Structure 1
Amino acid sequence: MNKTLLIATSEYLRRVRSKWFVVATLAVPLLALAVFALPMLAFSDDGEADRVAILDEAGLAGSVADALGDRATVEVADAPLDTLRARVLDGDLDGVLVLPAGLVAGDDGVRARYFARGGLDAGDGVGGAVREAVRRARAQAAGASPEAVAAYESGVELDRVTVSADGDETDAAFGRYMLANLLSLLMYLAILVFGMMVMRGVIEEKSNRIVEVVASSVRPFELMMGKVLGIGAVGLSQLLAWGVLTFGISVAAGPLLLALAPDAAGDAPADAPFGPDMISGMLSPGLLVAFVLFFLGGYLLYSSLFAAVGSAVDQESDAQSLQTVVVLPIMIPIFFLTFVANDPDGGLSLFLTLFPLTSPILMVVRMAVADVPVWQVALSLALLAAAFVGMIALAARVYRVGILMYGKKPSLADLWRWVRTA
Structure 2
Amino acid sequence: MYKFFIMVGHTFTNRVKTKSFLITTLVTLALIVAVTNIQTIIGTFSGEDETDRVAVITDNEEWFQTLEGTAAINNSFEIEMYDKSLDEAKEAVEEGTYQSVVEITTGESNLPEATYYANQIASAGHSDQIKQALQQIKVGIATEEAGVDQATLQQISSPVAFETVSLEESAKSEEELAQTRGLVYVMLFLLYMSVIMYGSMIATEVATEKSSRVMEILISSVSPVSQMFAKIIGIALVGMLQFCLILIVGYFGVTQNGGEGSMMAAFGLTNIQGSIIAYAVLFFILGYLLYATLAATLGSLVSRLEDAQQMIAPMIYLILAAFFISVFGLNAPESTFVTVSSYFPFFSPLIMFLRVGMLDIPVWEVILSVGVLVASIAILAWFGARIYSGGVLLYGKSSSFKDIKKAMQLSKKEK
Query: Shorter-chain TM-score category?
Result: 0.7 to 0.9
Question: In 1, Cα distance between the equivalents of 2:225 and 2:297?
Answer: 11
Does the C-alpha gap of structure 1 residues 247 and 71 become closer, same or farther in structure 2, counting only changes over 3 Å? closer
Who is 1:318 aligned against? 307
Q: Which residue of 2 aligns with 1:66?
A: 69
Q: 2:100, 2:124 within 8 Å by CA — same for their partners in 1?
A: no
Corresponding position of 1:90: 95
Q: Secondary structure at the match of 1:222?
A: helix
Assess, with a 3 A threshold, how the Cα gap between structure 1 residues 314 and 18 changes in structure 2: closer, same or farther: closer
Equivalent position SS for 2:222: coil
Deviation sequence 1:294-352 (CA, Å, 0-9, x none):
22222221122221232222221122322222222222333345422222333333234
Written as runs of structure 1 = structure 2, the 5 A alignment for 1:340-351 is 340-351=329-340
- Which residue does the alignment assign to 1:222? 226
Counterpart in the other structure of 1:332: 321
User: 1:83 deviation in Å?
Assistant: 4.3
- Distance between the aligned counterparts of 2:208 and 2:298, measured in 1? 13
Distance across 2 between alignment mates of 1:165 and 1:248: 39
Q: CA contact under 8 A between 1:104 and 1:134: conserved in structure 2?
A: no
Which residue does 1:380 correspond to in 2?
369
Per the alignment, do residues 25 and 78 of structure 1 end up closer, same or farther by CA in structure 2, a change over 3 Å counting?
A: closer
Partner of 2:271: 281
Q: Deviations over 1:251-301 (max 9, x none)?
A: 3x142xx5xxxxxxxxxxx954458xx85513x322322222222222221
Q: Which amino acid aligns with 2:293?
A: S
**Matching residue's letter, 1:183:** M
Find the residue that maps to 1:125 and give its secondary structure: helix
Q: Give the TM-score taking structure 1 as reference length.
A: 0.77
| One-letter amino acid of the counterpart of residue 281, structure 1 | N
Change (3 A) 1:342 1:5: same
Aligned match of 1:261: none
Local SS of the residue matching 1:412? coil
Q: Residue deviations 1:194-251, cap 9 Å, x none?
A: 2222112211221222211221233322321222233224434544554455445533
* 2:130 is aligned with 1:126: yes
- Kept in 1, the 8 Å contact 2:56–2:81? The answer is yes
Deviations 1:87-120 (A, max 9, x none): 32221222233445447789xxx97543323237
How much does 1:366 deviate?
Answer: 4.8
Identity %: 26
Q: Does the CA contact (< 8 Å) of 1:12 and 1:231 recur in 2?
A: yes
Which runs of no fewer than 5 residues in structure 1 stay unpaired?
A: 259-269
Give 1:407's aligned residue.
396
Q: Map residues 122-271 of structure 1 onto 2, 5 A cutoff.
A: 122-123=126-127, 125-152=129-156, 171=175, 176-236=180-240, 238-240=242-244, 242-243=246-247, 246-251=250-255, 253-255=256-258, 271=261
How much has 1:357 moved relative to structure 2? 1.9
- Choose 234-243 or 351-360, whichever is displaced more: 234-243
Secondary structure of 2:37 counterpart: helix
Residues 100-115 of structure 1 correspond to what in structure 2 (within 5 A)?
A: 101-102=106-107, 112-115=114-117
Q: Tell me what 1:301 maps to.
A: 290
Deviations 1:345-389 (A, max 9, x none): 333332343322223234445555555543333333222222223
Tell me the TM-score normalized by structure 2.
Answer: 0.78
Taking the aligned partners of 1:295 and 1:340, their CA distance within structure 2 comes to 18
Rounded to whole Å, the distance in 1 between the matches of 2:372 and 2:107 is: 66
Q: Tell me, what secondary structure is at the counterpart of 1:54?
A: strand
Which ranges in structure 2 are unaligned for 5 or more consecutive residues? none
The count of corresponding residues between Structure 1 and Structure 2 is 402
Distance between the aligned counterparts of 1:221 and 1:279, measured in 2? 40
Structure 1 residue 15: deviation in Å?
A: 5.2
- Compute the displacement of 1:178 (Å): 4.0
Q: Which amino acid aligns with 2:298?
A: V
CA distance in 1, matches of 2:233, 2:167: 39
- Cα shift at 1:137: 2.6
SS in 2 for 1:46: coil
Report the equivalent of 2:34.
Answer: 34
Retained in 2: the 8 A contact 1:161–1:171? no
Q: Distance in 2 between matches of 1:153 and 1:298?
A: 50
Matches of 1:213 and 1:7 in 2, distance apart? 13
Q: 2:36·2:257 contact (CA, 8 Å) conserved in 1?
A: no
Question: 1:294 touches 1:360 (CA, 8 Å); kept in 2?
Answer: yes
Render the CA deviation track for 1:130-169: whole Å, top value 9, x for unaligned: 3332233332232222333455556789888899866865
CA distance in 2, matches of 1:72, 1:241: 40
Distance in 1 between residues matched to 2:55 and 2:183, nearest whole Å: 43
